[in-house]
Amino acid sequence: MSAKQTIQTAVEKVAQLRQLASDTAGLAQAVSEIKAFQAQRFNGTYSDLLHTPQYQPATQFFLEELYSEKDYSQRDAQFSRIAGTLERMFPKQVVETAVSLAELHSLTEDLDLAMAKSWLNSSVKTTKSSGDIDRYITAWQHVGRRTDRDAQLSGALRVGQELVTLTRTPGLRMALKMMRKPASLAGMAALQHFLESGFDTFAAMGPKKPSKSGQPEGPAYFLETVKKREAALIDQLFDAPLQFSKAELEKVISNVA
């Protein structure tokens, strides 16, 4: 399937999921609550990185572009409208990043909607923060789909790694800067912002290779940290006893400033 077809298929699926949520009483609100909880969890999981100057921008970028409750409908509309133009206007590496982002977004919206259905119908009694944690764990385990959860994490890491690759492409930053006006005129301002912001964020993180100690630094450290912590969370939510998962999530949420 071409990049154009892949992006359009992903965006069309997201539009269908949004429409389903809008047409079902309470479901759109449940999706919003799921996303808000996940953003809060991400904030807590990476509280240390959010308070570390070297990694704060990249962590914030992941939070805002991949893990937040932000409305991506403008970016989706641009993706769908310019999917064909994208292949003509941008370098191959940029197109690959856009494809990975569209696929990740589609899978994330699918999982969030499935979670929201369970969240909406949950019989768990809520007392806000503690109740939300119970409802979230219950919804996660009810939905299941471990293969898709692993794919979601792999997709997020792939987008991050592709942004790292872009920072190593000679002349690309200048090319992106020169693309601002044409991209805006072509209706690609949101995509342009994502690419420039991602490029600058990962380029500013420092070393691209392991340090002399052999430990990863910069982008390598950031992506490895995300991989380890998210994989551990997936294992915990699928395999650990409910009370253990609840206690661990309560610790994470308490880290949020």
| DSSP letter for each residue of 103-147 | HHHHHHHHHHHHHHHHHHT------THHHHHHHHHHHHHHH--HH
pLDDT at 64: 84
Q: How far apart are CA 146 and CA 28, in angstroms?
A: 24
**Which token pair is 46?**
């990476």
Q: In this structure, what is the dihedral angle of CA atoms 231, 52, 244, 143, given to the nearest 10 degrees?
A: -40
Asked if 215 contacts 221 with a C-beta cutoff of 8 angstroms, the reply is: yes
Q: How far apart are CA 119 and CA 113, in angstroms?
A: 9
pLDDT at 256: 77
Asked if 85 contacts 186 with a C-beta cutoff of 8 angstroms, the reply is: yes
Q: At what angle do helices 189-203 and 92-120 cross, to 10 degrees?
A: 100
pLDDT tens digits in sequence order for the chain, 257 residues long = 777 788 888 888 888 998 998 899 889 999 999 999 999 999 999 999 999 988 999 898 888 877 777 777 666 666 666 666 666 767 777 788 888 888 898 999 999 999 999 998 876 555 455 578 989 999 999 999 999 999 999 999 998 888 888 777 777 667 667 666 766 665 667 777 777 787 788 888 876 555 555 666 788 899 999 999 999 999 999 999 989 999 999 999 887 75
CA Rg value for the chain: 19
Count of other CB atoms within 10 angstroms of residue 51: 12
Cα end-to-end distance, the chain, whole Å: 44
Residue (of 175, 168, 39, 159) closest to 101 by Cα position: 159
Nearest 5°: the CA angle 146, 62, 138 is: 35
Instruction: Say which amino acid occupies 80.
Output: S
Q: How far apart are CA 9 and CA 107, in angstroms?
A: 12
Asked if 81 contacts 125 with a C-beta cutoff of 8 angstroms, the reply is: no
pLDDT at 15: 86
Residue (of 160, 149, 132) closest to 39 by Cα position: 132
The pTM assigned to this predicted structure is 0.84
pLDDT at 229: 95
pLDDT at 83: 62
**Which token pair is 63?**
């939070």
